[in-house]
């Protein structure tokens, strides 16, 4: 079936803002289409190859970062703390087993957010919902809530700087690699291994970029064709995913994603059915190519045992080469003291259940997908810092969903490492 970057425009598009000025939208799209790409085809192919290794059981995908990037919080220090946290988590996960860790950030493009309603009402006043800084402003202000396509240009600018910073930090990360590995071993209570810590990494330390492919005018404008192969690549980032609210088979987001050559993720929540999963795989990955499709479960600790086994059994029966990962954040949101929050215990419980179910179904538990920040926020409860309900007000900074702070994220990484270590021990004993 023929495809172009504009094919999505003929399909129903959920979660899209209503821009009041079509000419301004066209101007923004034109500027983006003429801009330099934010990713390279070489990088994207390299990531797909490493995701393929994960799908074959030889690697583990660590994906994480902000719920939604914001213009106001942007800066080199924030990028650096996210980069360092992801590499520290990756070293922790890698310390428990022989698998390499593929590190992907929710960064350099994660500016758009899906919403459960198109509008928000406060004190009898109804305004458009906040859809992320790439669309409109978070403040409950009539002028700021009007979708503004020029915001896409600022999102692009900040993403471009972020990508440059990530590349620079990666080039300098070799010097810290041995120390990072030693700290990871100590975090897990493992004996020091100076020889292993000093060994050169199999791949250069780096963080690939990813975001939800939600705002399709932005994605279309940054799609480029490889002159040698004829393939179309989304060069707004290295990896894109389709969200729980936009995975309609006949919808615009699936139509866009089926035509790009990148690794593509799909969020699967409690409403996902085995039949829908098969149809999504047939549409997005008709060649069943390892490294192409990442299935990201998001059920909640209380639902995963009822929902995931049938989906994993379906992928096994169909012989799918997709990589299974788990997002233990979105299904575990609750309200405490009037604030949305998540409990570290629930997050760890869902990851543990993911490993148990994968083992029972003969599936490789291939990754985790987290919302987190390197800053000391107090948005999630529990963890080694023992944050309680009374701590929520101290540094509750998120514009959307609650994030793990650095200590909590490292706690989750350590628990994941232990699960991987247990899995490897069972495999060797079998």
Q: Which one, of 171, 174, 189, 200, lies nearest residue 95 by Cα?
A: 189
Angle at 233 between CA 3 and CA 368, to 5 degrees: 115
Q: Report the alpha-carbon distance of residue 130 to residue 151 in Å, rounded.
A: 13
Q: Report the alpha-carbon distance of residue 70 to residue 424 in Å, rounded.
A: 39
Measured CA to CA in angstroms, residue 306 lies from 269, 360, 394 at distances of 11, 14, 36
**Quick one: pLDDT at residue 107?**
98
Residue 287: other Cβ atoms inside 10 A: 6
Supply φ then ψ for residue 280, to 5 degrees. -65, -45
Q: Report the alpha-carbon distance of residue 50 to residue 292 in Å, rounded.
A: 10
DSSP tag of 242: E
CB 210 within 8 A of CB 104: yes
3-class SS at 21?
Answer: coil
Q: Report the alpha-carbon distance of residue 213 to residue 33 in Å, rounded.
A: 16
Give the helix, strand, coil percentages of the chain, each rounded to 5.
Answer: 40, 15, 40
Q: Which residue has the tokens 């493992």?
A: 190
Q: Which residue has the tokens 């993720």?
A: 265
Q: Report the alpha-carbon distance of residue 238 to residue 63 in Å, rounded.
A: 12
**Quick one: pLDDT at residue 5?**
98
Query: In sequence order, which ranges of 56-120 are alpha helices (DSSP H)?
Result: 76-95
**Quick one: pLDDT at residue 98?**
61
Tokens at 115, concatenated: 């919403």
Report pTM: 0.96
CB 199 within 8 A of CB 228: no
3-class SS at 59?
Answer: strand
Q: Report the alpha-carbon distance of residue 219 to residue 207 in Å, rounded.
A: 21
What are 365-385's pLDDT values in tens digits?
999 999 999 999 999 999 998
Burial annotation 234-271 (CB, 10 A radius, 16+ → b, else e): bbbbbbbbbbbbbbbeebbbbbbbbbbbbbbbbbbbbe
User: Strands (DSSP E) along 273-414, which ranges?
Assistant: 293-297, 323-326, 333-336, 339-342, 365-371
Supply φ then ψ for residue 59, to 5 degrees. -155, 170
Q: Which helix (H) or strand (E) holds 308?
A: helix 304-317
**Quick one: pLDDT at residue 385?**
85
Q: Which residue has the tokens 């990088």?
A: 43
Paired strand residues for 7 = none
**Quick one: pLDDT at residue 398?**
87
Calculated CA dihedral for residues 211, 406, 58, 357, nearest 10 degrees: -90
Positions in the chain short of pLDDT 70 = 1, 98, 430
């Amino acid at each position: 079936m023929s495809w172009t970057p504009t094919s999505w425009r003929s399909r129903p598009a959920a979660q899209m803002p209503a821009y009041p000025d079509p000419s301004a939208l066209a101007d923004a799209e034109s500027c983006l289409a003429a801009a330099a790409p934010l990713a390279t085809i070489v990088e994207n192919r390299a990531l797909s190859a490493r995701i393929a290794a994960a799908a074959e059981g030889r690697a583990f995908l660590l994906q994480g970062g902000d719920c939604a990037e914001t213009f106001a919080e942007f800066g080199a220090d924030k990028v650096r703390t996210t980069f360092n946290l992801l590499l520290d988590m990756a070293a922790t996960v890698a310390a428990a087993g022989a698998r390499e860790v593929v590190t992907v950030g929710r960064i350099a493009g994660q500016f758009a957010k899906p919403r459960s309603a198109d509008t928000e009402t406060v004190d009898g006043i109804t305004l458009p919902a906040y859809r992320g800084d790439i669309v409109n402003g978070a403040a409950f202000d009539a002028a700021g809530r009007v979708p503004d396509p020029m915001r896409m240009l600022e999102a692009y600018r900040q993403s471009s700087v972020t990508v440059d910073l990530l590349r620079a930090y990666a080039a300098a990360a070799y010097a810290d690699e041995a120390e990072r590995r030693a700290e990871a071993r100590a975090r897990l209570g493992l004996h020091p291994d100076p020889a292993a810590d000093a060994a050169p990494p199999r791949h250069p330390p780096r963080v690939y970029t990813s975001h939800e492919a939600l705002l399709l005018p932005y994605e279309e404008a940054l799609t480029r064709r490889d002159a040698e192969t004829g393939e179309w690549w989304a060069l707004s980032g290295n990896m894109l995913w389709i969200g729980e609210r936009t995975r309609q088979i006949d919808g615009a987001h699936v139509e866009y994603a089926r035509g790009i050559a990148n690794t593509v993720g799909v969020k699967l929540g409690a409403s996902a059915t085995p039949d829908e999963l098969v149809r999504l795989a047939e549409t997005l990955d008709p060649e069943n190519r390892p490294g192409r499709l990442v299935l990201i479960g998001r059920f909640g600790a209380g639902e995963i045992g009822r929902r995931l086994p049938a989906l994993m059994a379906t992928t096994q029966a169909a012989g799918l080469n997709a990589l299974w990962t788990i997002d233990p954040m979105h299904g575990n949101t609750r309200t405490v003291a009037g604030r949305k929050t998540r409990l570290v215990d629930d997050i760890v419980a869902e990851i543990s259940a993911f490993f148990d179910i994968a083992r029972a179904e003969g599936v490789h538990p291939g990754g985790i997908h987290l919302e987190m920040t390197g800053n000391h926020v107090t948005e999630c409860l529990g963890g080694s810092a023992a944050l309680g309900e009374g701590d929520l007000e101290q540094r509750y900074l998120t514009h959307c969903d609650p994030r793990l702070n650095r200590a909590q994220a490292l706690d989750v990484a350590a628990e994941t490492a232990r699960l991987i270590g247990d899995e490897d021990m069972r495999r060797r004993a079998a």
